[in-house]
Amino acid sequence: DAKTTQPPSMDCAEGRAANLPCNHSTISGNEYVYWYRQIHSQGPQYIIHGLKNNETNEMASLIITEDRKSSTLILPHATLRDTAVYYCSDPQTSGSRLTFGEGTQLTVNP
């Protein structure tokens, strides 16, 4: 299984950008990187995914390094409601067996 590593916790001031890193040094060339978040007691929520190029949607931006060994999720203007555990995860291409690591607890402070 490809493995991912993330810092256990991060803090961010409300209104500032939150930059969440993830290392996925064992990812293979055709595996996507997915990001999800989980707000306390709710089911994980899909945020964004990418393969090689940087991606942006209404929720966040995803920056993937050229060697694809790491990525950064960017929340451009964090709000209190963005406080959650953020998971980066990579599915094995042999069947979408999406697994999760321990994630990063992001706390957005007023």
Give the interface with another protein as residue ranges (CB under 8 A).
Answer: 32, 34, 36, 41-46, 49, 87, 91, 93, 95-103
Which token pair is 84? Answer: 């959650």
Q: Residue 45, SS3? A: strand
CB of 44 to another protein, least distance (A): 5
Considering beta carbons, is residue 81 or 94 the nearer one to another protein? 94
CB of 24 to another protein, least distance (A): 15
CB of 56 to another protein, least distance (A): 15
Considering beta carbons, is residue 96 or 110 the nearer one to another protein? 96
**Which of these, 70, 68, 72, lies nearest to 60 by C-alpha position?**
72
DSSP 2: -
CA 34 – CA 90 distance, rounded (Å): 6
Are 33 and 22 contacting, i.e. CB atoms less than 8 angstroms apart? yes
Considering beta carbons, is residue 43 or 110 the nearer one to another protein? 43
